[in-house]
């Protein structure tokens, strides 16, 4: 999946491996000390997008 964050008013997107969807949450792993980890810690409002040829519809997740 592609995970987008905003840090210092600048958006940033990167590909992360989605491990599972569990209890209405997306589970993926990242290094807490990376730029991405710090951006998520500072502002947990992120955007995730998915690409799948086998999907016939869009997936929207909102908390």
- pTM, two decimals, is 0.73
The 10 Å Cβ neighbour count of residue 3 is 20
Q: What is the pLDDT of residue 13?
A: 94
pLDDT at 27: 92
pLDDT at residue 19, rounded to an integer: 93
pLDDT at 33 over 90: yes
Taking residues 25-54, report their average pLDDT: 87
The yes-or-no verdict on residue 63 having pLDDT over 60 is no
| Coil, helix or strand at residue 31 | coil
Q: Biggest alpha carbon distance in the chain? A: 37
What is the average per-residue pLDDT within 27-46? 90
**Phi, then psi, of 42 in degrees rounded to 5:** -70, -35
For residue 50, give both structure tokens: 């998915």
Mean pLDDT over the full length of the chain: 85
């Amino acid at each position: 999946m592609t995970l987008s964050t905003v840090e210092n008013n600048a958006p940033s997107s990167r590909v992360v491996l989605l491990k599972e969807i569990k209890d209405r949450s997306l589970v993926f792993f990242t290094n807490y000390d990376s730029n991405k980890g710090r951006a998520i810690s500072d502002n947990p409002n992120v955007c995730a997008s998915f690409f799948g040829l086998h999907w016939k519809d869009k997936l929207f997740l909102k908390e």
